[in-house]
Structures are given as structure tokens and as C-alpha cells.
Structure 1
Amino acid sequence: MFSQRSIRQSFLIQLIIASASLIIIFSSLLYFYIEKSIIDEKHEELSVYAKNASSNESIYGSDVPTAEEYLGLNIEIMYLNTQHLTLDFYETTKNKKSFLTLIHPFNFDDLSYLKITKDITQTRTLLNKIFNYLLVINVAGFLLVIIYAIGLSKMLVSPVKTLSNKLSNMNEHLMRPIIVEELPEEFEPLGATINHLILRIQNFVKYQKELFIGTAHELKTPLAVIKLKNQVTLIKKRTPEEYIEALKVTNKTVDEMNIIVSNILNIGRQEGMQLEKPQEVDVIAILKQKADDFNLLAANEGKTLEMNFQPNGFMAILQVGLLNQIVQNFLQNALKFTQKNKKVLLQSSLNSYGLLIEVIDEGCGIDESSDLYAPFKREGNKPGVGLGLFLAKSGADALGAKINIKNRTDGVSGTVASLNLNSKLSCILPSK
């Protein structure tokens, strides 16, 4: 039922010890308070007797004594060799009876003192009964605490067991998100995190299948071209120029296959980046560096790269390689589809989620109804393998960021590619 690392067992032990200690301390304080109050009352009673006797009055004063007050009361005069000025109370037990004695000054001239003894056996019997009752209450309370702790611990671990059961019934073919609203409020962040992980696994499984199928298809086509070209060339003798032309076609096709293989290897490299230790970096500084790298490339192509970064600095803990790969992909696509003498804008701003990074181009736009992040998905008539956005989506998921590709809505043809970094584990740097 429990293990050495069981949270439930630790909770049970701590709750039982704390509750039992509280019960024992409270009961002890209550008993000692009752005992002190009753004994103090007896002390006061004997002191009144002594004061009345010293004043040559009735020991009971003006009150009429009851029969119980006569019983068990003994008064005598004793003489001491030295003067004893303080009151002296002490309790003795004889023949299973308890007696409370007071030594009180009577006459200082002859050093005489009153010795008043009161039988408090009934009082002690009453206190013993109270002690036994409290002991029974403590035992019963301790048992109730154990039962309550077991029930409470079951209730606390119930959501964890529910989550565990749901996760154990999932596989790569049947993965359903957890309904966060059905969880206790304290477990909602855990449920949201698990749903995020489930979504990542679903996308990973989906795109991995598409990647395998797409890879086979992309490699099969150039291989078929090479084979067909070679077969046609071998049907009859050719001139050296014709053989050279056939080899050029073959080499070109092999180069295309190498590009596909290199991009597939980039997927493996990106998965390695996801395992890198996150670093604390200034994201704005990284964006400025990336903009400087692509500024010259844009100028060579007759295009303009503009920048607008807000705030002045944004510190975040993340994998730098993944961030660089995503921003680089956005800029490459933007410059690829933007016509000459047009401009591309790289900007950043703050929103309710965190830091929003946007790359806005003046290209031909996209088909928003298609799955842009699927592997080997190509837009427009530009060359490329179609793995860039697939890698960008995978990297954004690893960063816990949101990625979005949409057409511009300001009346200008073009695309807006955005990456929204979470504000958790980040802070804004003040302007210098």
C-alpha cells in the first residue's frame, strides 16, 4: 500500500503525529488547569480557616458550616524552635487517603503555629476520574484522527490516481486530452501541462508518420528519374556529349536528394537542440544579431529588411539554438517570397502572453486552409524541401511558445509569421 517514498504515507504520519501531539498538549494543559484550580481553591479554604483562627474568630467566619466542612478537618497548635514566617502547604498520603496541610503563624511571641489538615481524598478521586476521562477522550480522538487522516489522504491522492488511470489507457493511437475543469483547482496546472504534452506527442506522432511517408515519396521520385534516364541512355549507343548530358541530369537529381537528406538530418539535430540546457539570454539582442546577419542578404537581393524591437530587452530562459532556427526560417521564407524592391519587417512587442516576435513580408501570401506545418509541404513556386515550418513548429512546441502563420489583414499582400514566447521565467530589461 505504501512505499518508502510514498507521499501519502508521509502525509499520514505527519498528520497523525501533529494531531496526536495537539490532542495530548491540549488535554494536558486542560487537566493541569483543572487540577491547579481545584487545589488552589483548597489552599484558599485552608488559608481562610487559619486567618479566622488567628483572629480568635470561628474558623468558618460568619458563615454556618455544613456537615461536609466538619468532616476531615483537623486543627492543632504546634511550636517551632525558629521563626517560620511564610505559609507552608504540603500534601501527604496515608492509608490511601490524601491530606492537605497548612502551617500558619499563630503567635510569634511563643513561636506557635496552626497546623490545619484537610482530607482531600474525594477531591483527588475526582481529579483521577477527570484524568481517566481525558485519557479515554485522547484515545478516541487519536483513533478518529487516524480514520480522518486515511480518508483525507485518499481524497488528496484521488486526482493523481485518476490522472494515472487516464494516462495508462493512452497510446500513440488513442490520446485524448484531460478535462481540466473536472480536476480540483490545485491540479489544474498539472492537467494543463499534461494536455500540452499530449498535444506535442500527437503532433509528433502525426508529423513523424507524414515525415516517413513524405521522405519515401521525395526520395522515390528522383531515384525513378535516375533509373529511367539511365535505362533510356543504355538502350542504344550514344555520343559522348549525350552521355555527359545524362550524367549531368543524374548529378542534379543526386544533389536534390542530398538536399532532402540534409534537411532530414536537420530534424535529428533539432531534437538534439531540444535536449540542450536552457540558457538565460536577452531575446532582443538575439533578434538584433539575426537581423544584422540577414540585412546584407536582403540588400544583395534588392530587398529591404526593417527592424522595430520593443521592449529594449527581454531576458528569458530557453534553448538558443531552437530560437535561432525558428527566426532564421521565418526570415528565409519572407525574403524568398518577397519581390525585389519590397520590404520585410522583423519586429517584437509585448502582449498578455509574453514576447511576440513577428516577421512580416510583402509576398504572395499563403493558403490558410492547408496544414502549413506538415513535412514536405510547399507553398508557391519557389524551390525548397518543405521542412522549414515543420522544424519551426517542433521547435516552438519545445520552447512552450505559440507559432502562427497567416496572411496580412492591412490590405497589403503578404504573410505574417509570428512566435509568441511565454512570459514565465522571463523579465523585461529597462531602457538604457
Structure 2
Amino acid sequence: MKSSYKQRIAWRLTWVTALIISAVFVLIYMVADFTLIRNIDRELQLETEKHKDQIFLVRGEIRFLHKDEWEEMEHTQLQLNPIFIEIVDLNGVSMDRSPNLGSQHLLFTPEKAQTQDAWTLKIGDQTVRQQQIPLINDGQTEGYLLVATSFQDADELLTNLRNVLFVLYPMILISLFLTMRYLAGKSMEPILEIISIANQINQKNLNERVPDSNLNDEIGQLTHSINRLLDRLEQALIREKQFTSDASHELRTPLSVLRGTLEVLIRKPRTAEEYQEKIQTALKSIDKMTSIIDQLLALARVESTGKLVHEEVELIAFVEELVDQKKLEFDRVIHFNSQVGFPIYVKTHEKSLKMILENLLQNAVKYSSSDTSVVVEVGMRSLEPYIQVIDQGCGIEEENLEKIFDPFFRTQDALQNPVPGTGLGLAIVKKLCQESGIKISVSSILSRGSVFRLDFPKQS
């Protein structure tokens, strides 16, 4: 069974802390070991230097500067830090030693004779630190002085320190894990509260929100993010309901006309002219439904399309060619105007840009009288290319400027003066612009016309 997030946090923090504590304990032990050995070696070095100036080997004979030194209490009795001394010849054979060695001998190591480094060894049941130096007479080495001091107390101290650290280590880790788990649980309480509230929000009460903690920490940011997500979901659901309602209404109208026309035809025999008239009415209803369905499919394709592949397009030539095509198709005056005298290259999805401009031009032609012209302008401002579609039509009320991009939205003027269309063209334009990274904006004055502007990202 997978552990909870609280448990995983506690384990991770405990493992990290365990590594840190182990490193600290090892460092403590190493510092203690180094300090004790350094102090003992310093005392040993002082003792060695003192005896080195008092003991000589002359042609295999030991001579003392102060013979009575060997009778001192420190060499005849066991003390807190006794000093052990032994003199050996070149082959390591003992020539003399301090009385406190008894029957024991210090260890002669030829390879350490020149380095004069101290090392730890066992003499009987006692641990000592030993150093050996050569005894030189007239430039010749005639033997070695071995000096050692007890390391027993220091060794016991280091052993006790190691044992204490080994015992403390698991105890600290267990206490740390329990503490971490408790603190992790307390830290998780605000998140668990958010989860509980979020689980109670569904489609029926999507207007509810997670209580704002008014904190600027990560919990506050999480609350803000969830509430913003719920805002977007609520708006999307409202738009979906509105879209479904509008689509049903738009399709129901031509279906009702079609059904009514066919019911009239079958009530009684009709003349050929009446049949032809009613069939024409039915075909118009079918054409309208076909147009709505085509636009709905186009909008669905745009919304389901993944990331569009952008390619380089020369904007002036592209727009001018499209304008020439639409002049013939719409049989209207459409002027092309370039504000720059050099090519403008943009990275965009060519088919999407073509569909955007076709819809904008179609709207411009539909909502303006036949004796007025439409202008398509291409230019660049601050390295940002733009296209403007300018008409001299009826214009749009200021409060409707944002709504015109909603599916099936029609202005009051369009409803009163029926204009062919489904109300989906600008919704498709808006969606294509979002997918292509193009910013679309509109400005309009009633009875004077509208300007739709496409701004492309800054070109490097």
C-alpha cells in the first residue's frame, strides 16, 4: 500500500537529516580523535626531546648525562600518564629499558626510524603511543631511543564517545521521524481542508469557492489558483450551456420551417407552381441548416486541433492575392493598401490566417451597403506587423464589441434587418487567432463602420 504524502515527507526529511547528523557525528569523532592524539603526541615529543639530550650510545655502550633520571618516580611507578623508555641497537636488540616496562618491550620498527612519526600499539594489555628516534654519535647512527606514553585513557574516551554516538543516532532518528510526521500532518491540514471543500464542489454548485486564506504563502497561492480554475470552469460551462441552447434554437427554426412546408404540401394536391415554391422554401431551410452544421464542424475542428505548425508567410503578397480573389467572389469594391514598401515576413499558420481574413471580409461585405468599399490594410508598427479590415457598414454598439465573438451572437440591428449568416464566423475567427498567437481587436462607430485589427507577434 502506498504511503501517504505526510509519511513520504517525514521519511524524506528524516533521511536527509540522518545523513547530516551522521556527517556531524563522524566529524565530532574525528575532531576528538585528532585533538587527543595531537595532544598526546605533543607530550610524547617533549619527553623524547628531553631524553634524547640525556642518553648517548658510544661504541655500543650506553651513557647518561644524568643517571639519576632513571630513578625518578615516573619510571618506577604506574602513573596517570607513565612514560616508557627503551634503548635498542641497530638490529633492534634491547640494551636497556625503564623499570615500568617490566618484562615487556617496546616495538622497534626500522621503517619508522627516520620519519619519527608516532603510532599506536599494544604492550601487553595496555595501549600506548610510541615514537622512535636514532641515537647518533660522531655522525653515525649507533642505536635507537624508543619512547612511549600511555594511550589507554584516550582510547577509552574515544571508545565511549563512539558508543554514545552509536546509541544516540537511532534515538535521534526515531524522535526526528515522529516529530517530522507530526509537523507534516499539521502542515497538511490547510491542504486537506481545501481538498475537502473542493470535493464538495460539482456542476450543481460550481459557483462556490474555496475560502480565501489571505496568505501570501504557497497555501494562499494554491487557493487562488483553484478559485481561478473554478472561475474558468464556471464560465466555460455557462458558455457551453448558452452554445447548446443557441445551437438548438438556430437548428430548430429551419427545421420548423421545413416541417411546416412539407405538412402544407401533403394536405391536398397543389399546382406545379405551388409545389415549386414550397420546395424552394424547404431547400432554403436545408441550406441554412447545412451552413450552420458546417460552421459548427469548423468551430469543433478548431477547438480540437493541437498546436498549429507555423510557417513563414510574406504578408503583403498573401493578403493582396486573397483580396483579388474576394473581389471577384463578392463582386464588391475591396481596396488593398500596404503601409510599407518592403516585404513583411511572419510566422503563422497559413490556412488559419486565410480563414480568418475570409470571415472578416465576408462580414465586412455583408454589413455594409453595396455602394461602399472595404479596405484591407497591411503595415508594421514597432516591428509588429498588423492587418486591418475596414468597412463603412452599420457599426456595432460599444457594449456588444466583446459579445460579437460569442457563438450565435447577433446584434439587434442584424436581427431586425435579417442578414444571411449563422453567427459563428467571428467565434471561429477568435478561436483561430488564439491558436495562431494573433491578437484581434475591434473598434466601431454606429452608422459609420467598424475596424477589425490583427496584430502579429513582434518579428526579430
Q: TM-score range by the shorter chain?
A: 0.7 to 0.9
Q: Which residue of 1 aligns with 2:295?
A: 263
The residue identity in structure 2 corresponding to 1:79 is: D
Distance across 2 between alignment mates of 1:156 and 1:95: 60
Q: How far 1:13 moved relative to its partner?
A: 5.2
Aligned equivalent of 2:323: 294
Shift of 1:366: 1.2
> In the superposition, relative to structure 1, how do residues 402 and 193 fare at CA in structure 2: closer, same or farther (>3 Å)?
farther
Aligned length: 409
- After superposition, the C-alpha distances for 1:262-316 in whole angstroms (9 at most, x for unaligned) are 223323333332xx3442444x647863553234314741122435589955547
- Aligned-residue Cα RMSD (Å) equals 4.6
2:280 maps to which of 214, 239, 248: 248
- Code of the aligned partner of 1:19: T
Offset at 1:259? 1.9
Q: For residue 261 of structure 1, what is the amino acid of its counterpart?
A: I
**How high is the TM-score relative to the length of structure 2?**
0.69
| Cα shift at 1:28 | 1.5
Which residue identity does 2:203 align to in structure 1?
E
Q: Does 1:386 align with 2:384?
A: no
CA–CA separation in structure 2 for the residues paired with 1:401 and 1:154: 47
2:220 is aligned with 1:210: no
Instruction: Give the partner amino acid of 1:39.
Output: I
TM superposition score normalised by structure 1: 0.73
Q: Structure 2: how far apart are the matches of 1:190 and 1:416?
A: 41
Contact 1:75 1:117 in 2 (8 A): yes
Which of these residues, 419, 442, 449, is aligned with residue 414 of structure 1? 449
Once the two structures are superposed, residues 113-157 of structure 1 have per-residue CA deviations (whole angstroms, 9 ceiling, x without a partner) of 322221222222222333344445544553465356546766887
Task: Identify if the C-alpha distance between structure 1 residues 311 and 91 changes in structure 2 by more than 3 Å, giving closer, same or farther.
Answer: farther
Match of 1:118 in 2: 149
For structure 1, the 5+ residue unaligned runs are none
Q: Please say if residues 89 and 142 of structure 2, whose CA atoms lie closer than 8 Å, have aligned partners that are also in contact.
A: yes
- Letter matched to residue 423 of structure 2: G
Instruction: Deviation per CA, 1:225-257: give whole Å up to 9, x if none.
Output: 344444555565543223322322222232223
Aligned to 1:333: 363
Residue in 2 that maps onto 1:32: 30
Structure-2 separation of matches of 1:311 and 1:29: 71
- Does residue 75 (structure 1) correspond to residue 75 (structure 2)? The answer is no
What does residue 48 of structure 2 align with? 50
Give the one of 121, 125, 132 matched to 1:92: 121
Q: How do residues 335-350 of structure 1 correspond to structure 2 at under 5 angstroms?
A: 335-339=365-369, 340-345=372-377
**Kept in 1: contact 2:379–2:385 (CA 8 A):** no
Secondary structure, aligned partner of 1:248: helix
In the other structure, the counterpart of 1:142 is 173
2:61 is aligned to: none
Letter aligned with residue 333 of structure 2: G
CA distance in 2, matches of 1:350, 1:196: 34
> How far apart in 2 are the matches of 1:199 and 1:398?
22
Matched residue of 2:149: which SS? Answer: strand
SS of equivalent residue, structure 1 residue 92: strand
What are the Cα deviations for residues 150-195 of structure 1, in whole angstroms up to 9, with x where unaligned? 4676688778766655553333343357789957666899878766
Paired residues for 1:165-204 under 5 Å: 165=196, 167-176=198-207, 198=230, 201-204=233-236
Q: Is the 8 A contact 1:99 1:118 kept in 2?
A: yes
Q: Distance in 2 between matches of 1:400 and 1:256?
A: 32
Matched residues in 2 for 1:95 and 1:137: separation? 33
Letter in 2 for 1:259: S
Structure 1 residues 47 and 346, CA gap change in structure 2 (3 angstroms): same
My pick for the range that moved more, 116-125 or 367-376, is 367-376
Instruction: Give how far 1:321 is off.
Output: 5.9
Mapping for residues 4-15 of structure 1, pairs under 5 Å: 15=13
Query: Deviations along 1:202-231, whole A, 9 cap, x unmatched?
Result: 444323323332233233333333444445
Assess, with a 3 A threshold, how the Cα gap between structure 1 residues 307 and 52 changes in structure 2: closer, same or farther: same
- Cα pair distance change 1:390/1:204, threshold 3 Å: farther
Provide the C-alpha distance between the structure 2 equivalents of 1:358 and 1:187, rounded to a whole number of angstroms: 45
User: Which consecutive unaligned segments of at least 5 residues does structure 2 have?
Assistant: 55-64, 93-109
2:59 is matched with which residue? none
2-structure distance, mates of 1:185, 1:372: 40
Matches of 1:290 and 1:189, distance apart in 2? 45
8 Å CA contact 2:364–2:374 kept in 1: the answer is: no
1:306 maps to 337
**Counterpart-to-counterpart distance in 1, 2:311 and 2:272:** 59
Pair 1:224-2:256 in alignment? yes
Structure 2 letter corresponding to 1:76 = E
- Aligned mates of 1:76, 1:128 — CA distance in 2: 29
Deviation at 1:79, TM superposition (A): 2.3
Matched, 1:364 2:394: yes
Identity in percent: 24
| Residue deviations 1:53-76 (CA, integer Å, cap 9, x gap) | 12227899xxxx9x9977522223
On the 8 A contact 1:326/1:392 being kept in 2, the answer is yes
Are the structure 2 counterparts of residues 15 and 201 from structure 1 closer, same or farther at C-alpha, using a change threshold of 3 Å? Answer: same
CA distance in 1, matches of 2:326, 2:439: 27
Distance verdict in 2 for CA 1:242–1:26, change over 3 Å: same
The 3 A distance-change label for structure 1 pair 277 and 86 is closer
Q: Which has the larger radius of gyration?
A: 2
The answer (yes or no) to whether the contact 2:132–2:147 under 8 Å persists in 1 is yes
1:279 to 306, 309, 313: 309
> Deviations for 1:373-423, whole angstroms, at most 9, x for unmatched residues?
443222334211111233344555666876554425xx99333445677x7
Equivalents in 1 of 2:165, 2:234: separation in Å? 61
Whole-angstrom distance in 2 between the partners of 1:85 and 1:206: 93
